[in-house]
Amino acid sequence: MVETILITLLIVAISLVLLGVKVFFTKGGKFPNGHVSGNKVLRKKGIGCAQSQDREAQKKPRFSIDELEKALNDSMN
């Protein structure tokens, strides 16, 4: 039982070191950006993640005042 746990911990530790080689052993190393908006090719295509697209959609007003006035005038006529 203890041997299995130790072997498992050893495998996990080796995996973490191998995954972090760039981070641990290079100056200024950091993990790659896994976010969709961090991918240059997807940005060129105009593709973003759902959170970014939702944030942009919430910034835009639904209607301009001119459109609202026109809609109100059309509905009254």
Q: Which of 38, 39, 21 is nearest to 30 (CA)?
A: 21
Instruction: Kindly give, in sequence order, each residue whose CB lies less than 8 Å from that of residue 47, ignoring residues fewer than 6 positions away.
Output: 36
> Across the 77 residues of the chain, what is the mean pLDDT of every consecutive 10-residue run?
96 91 78 76 82 79 74 77
The predicted pLDDT at position 11 comes to 97
Q: Is 43:37 a contact under the CB 8 Å cutoff?
A: yes
The confidence score (pLDDT) of residue 40 equals 83
Contact 36, 48 (CB under 8 A): yes
pLDDT score at 77 = 66
Q: What is the pLDDT of residue 4?
A: 96
pLDDT at site 53: 76
Rounded to two decimals, the pTM is: 0.41
Planar angle of CA 62, 66, 67, nearest 5 degrees: 50
